[in-house]
Structure 1
Amino acid sequence: MQLSDVREKVGQEVALSEWVKVTQERVNAFADATGDHQFIHVDVERAAAGPFGAPIAHGFLTLSLLAGELANAGGTLRLEGGRMTVNYGLNRVRFVHPVRVGSRLRNRAVLQGVEEGAGFVQFTVLNTVEIDGEARPACTAESLMRVYL
């Protein structure tokens, strides 16, 4: 895609990912990777009696899915002549609603801006991670992606 084509998409939805199921195995693996073994994530029985009525995913697990399974925006914003795309950072992240184990998530990505730099183009994308059957999203995150030319 040409840069001029991408610029025309500012303010528009550029990706809607497939649904991804959050399993207890995934939550446990994330707990092992980060050392965050709080009972609300990994102790199924205790979490069921806790404030959320079930174990919940770590907020950072939900956020990390934007780099992998929920990251369809990168494919949609491929630039002609781009050598690689990297996550440059985040401007604002909010964990709006808990994600109970067994929930399904998807990302809705809206292109907010396009900036040119020395040898790269940077996209600002508003990601809204939706929970199947919930009115409020799990997470909102403004991410920055750089495509190096």
Structure 2
Amino acid sequence: MSATTVNGVDGVKALPTGELLGYSDWVEITQESVNQFADATGDHQWLHVDPERAKNGPFGGPIAHGYLTLSLVPLLLPQVLELSGFSMGVNYGCDRVRFPAPVPVGSKVRAGVVLDSVTDVAGGIQLTVSMTFEIEGGTKPACIATILVRQYP
């Protein structure tokens, strides 16, 4: 998928709101990436990092951390919406995050992106973006998140 590229504040404000801007590429969730995330966060719960034990667990195998899925925002969002004409962008946080379905290790996820709103903030703009992380072949999203990004010219 090719990203929608916009330049500067005027370019961002000209984008349609409330409509799907597109989808990112699919990304495979490997056991190695789950283990690295566990090491980085200290969350070594067996349902993530012990494939043998996880086979007998509630999901039939190891699953990704929910926050690992959420941490894909910086990778996947620019695949859909690429911003230029700014000196910097800042992750301002999340308004809402939910994890409706587990992400099995070995599955692929992608994100659909909707620009909800653009508002002026001191020295820049704030984008409110809804991202829905889908699991390839899944029936429910893995993660639904409202992301706040600030851009400064």
Matched with 1:35 is 42
Residue type of the alignment partner of 2:83: R
Return the offset for 1:87. 0.8
Question: Would you say the 8 A contact 1:104–1:132 is kept in 2?
Answer: yes
Partner-residue secondary structure (3-state), 1:126: strand
Return the offset for 1:5. 4.1
Matched with 1:148 is 152
Question: What's the CA shift string for 1:113-149, capped at 9, x where partnerless?
Answer: 0001121110000000010000111000000011011
Matched with 1:54 is 61
Return the offset for 1:14. 2.4
Matched with 1:87 is 91
Partner-residue secondary structure (3-state), 1:145: strand
- Between the two proteins, what is the percent identity of the paired residues? 51
Question: Would you say the 8 A contact 1:6–1:77 is kept in 2?
Answer: no
Which structure 2 residues correspond to residues 102-121 of structure 1 after superposition, within 5 A?
102-121=106-125
Which stretches of structure 1, 4 residues or longer, exceed 6 Å deviation after superposition?
A: none
The one of 1, 14, 18 aligned to 2:21: 14
Matched with 2:9 is 3
Partner-residue secondary structure (3-state), 2:71: helix
Pair 76,70 (structure 1): closer, same or farther in 2 beyond 3 Å: closer
Return the offset for 1:11. 1.1
Deviates more, 1:108-117 or 1:3-12: 3-12
State the aligned residue count.
146
Matched with 1:126 is 130
Partner-residue secondary structure (3-state), 2:77: coil
Question: Would you say the 8 A contact 1:103–1:132 is kept in 2?
Answer: yes
Question: Would you say the 8 A contact 1:15–1:72 is kept in 2?
Answer: no
Give the root-mean-square deviation of aligned CA atoms.
1.5
Matched with 1:71 is 77
Instruction: Could you tell me which runs of 5 or more consecutive residues in structure 2 were left unpaired when the two chains were aligned.
Output: 1-6
Pair 71,2 (structure 1): closer, same or farther in 2 beyond 3 Å: closer
Instruction: Could you tell me which runs of 5 or more consecutive residues in structure 1 were left unpaired when the two chains were aligned.
Output: none
- Provide the TM-score with structure 1 as the length reference: 0.91
- Provide the TM-score with structure 2 as the length reference: 0.89
Residue type of the alignment partner of 1:118: A
Question: What's the CA shift string for 1:38-80, capped at 9, x where partnerless?
Answer: 110011111011100010000011111112x22226x725253
